[in-house]
Structure 1
């Protein structure tokens, strides 16, 4: 399995590369009046209007708009959505057996598992479940 690793508030997360459409530098985000607080706004990327989501709020983290240097565009069920992240680290490949399942966290069904790389731990997010 191949994943894109990214940072949010000093924690590392990952998304499967099959879901990633593109990775872009932060650009101007147009606010949407009366939108839910987890929607940061919209961007125009090469003629496509894409909704940008606040991943901090979706993951239940403290909203730390500290860096947010990159936007990861995800293709979820033929719809493009973007998430702002502090930084995109790398693309890694690992065997599916190396993914440690998380069974006791019923409040967070969007966590697909933990990738334990000895020197760091990465949480693999299932964005389809997160955005349901």
Structure 2
């Protein structure tokens, strides 16, 4: 299984590369009046307009760091972007290394945790997070 690791604030997250179309540097964002607060705006990526989702709001993370990257995803046949502080790396990992959470938490979009070189990575199911 291949994962993209990115940072939001001081936390590390990972998403399966199957859903990722591209990773881009930050670009101009056009605000959309009266859009839900989790929609940052729209971007024009090579002539294609995409919605930009503020993943910090969806994950309840207060990050005041500058966001440097946009990850373009395909979720339910729709292409959209999420803004992240920094994309760190792409790794290959065996699925059995993902530790499942035993709690009955409401965060059903969390696939599990990986302990990688003294970093704890939260593996998220991006489709479930976006659709919640």
Q: TM-score range by the shorter chain?
A: over 0.9
Structure 1 partner of 2:33: 33
Is the 2:19–2:74 Cα contact (8 Å) retained in structure 1? yes
Structure 1 partner of 2:97: 98
Give the Cα separation in 2 of the matches to 1:91 and 1:98.
16
The runs of at least 4 consecutive aligned structure 1 residues that moved more than 2 Å come to none
Q: TM-score, normalised by structure 2?
A: 0.95
* 3-state SS of 1:49 partner: strand
Q: CA RMSD in A?
A: 1.0
Cα-to-partner distance string for 1:94-120 (whole Å, 9 max, x where unaligned): 111101011315221110111112411
Structure 1 partner of 2:16: 16
Which stretch shifts more, 5-14 or 97-106? 97-106
Pair 1:126-2:125 in alignment: yes
Pair 1:83-2:93 in alignment: no
Give the Cα separation in 2 of the matches to 1:126 and 1:16.
8
Give the Cα separation in 1 of the matches to 2:65 and 2:103.
31
Give the Cα separation in 2 of the matches to 1:29 and 1:15.
23
Question: Deviation at 1:18?
Answer: 0.8
Q: TM-score, normalised by structure 1?
A: 0.95
Structure 2 partner of 1:110: 109
Is the 2:8–2:61 Cα contact (8 Å) retained in structure 1? no
Give the Cα separation in 2 of the matches to 1:74 and 1:49.
13
How many residues get paired?
Answer: 131
Give the Cα separation in 2 of the matches to 1:86 and 1:19.
19
